[in-house]
Amino acid sequence: MEHPFIVMFKPAVAMSAQPDMLVVIFALVETLLFLGLGLWMAKNLRYE
């Protein structure tokens, strides 16, 4: 598995303007995962 720093900056240093679809899909999945997790935690885990 590649280093996350390299995967994250791969589209930025590529010669073409087209980002790697794998990186785009991974970023979207990660964003939705953490958004859902954050909303679930805010709803279900209440701190007094």
Residue range 1-48, pLDDT digits in tens: 566 555 555 555 555 566 678 888 999 999 999 999 999 998 888 775
What pTM was estimated for this model as a whole? Answer: 0.51
d(CA 29, CA 48): 32
Exposure string (b/e) for 17-39, b if CB count within 10 Å is 16 or more? eeeeeeeeeeeeeeeeeeeeeee
Q: What confidence score (pLDDT) does residue 48 get?
A: 56
Give residue for tokens 């709803």: 43
Q: How far is CA 8 from the centre of its chain?
A: 9
Q: Count of domains in the chain?
A: 1
* Boundaries of domain holding 31: 4-46
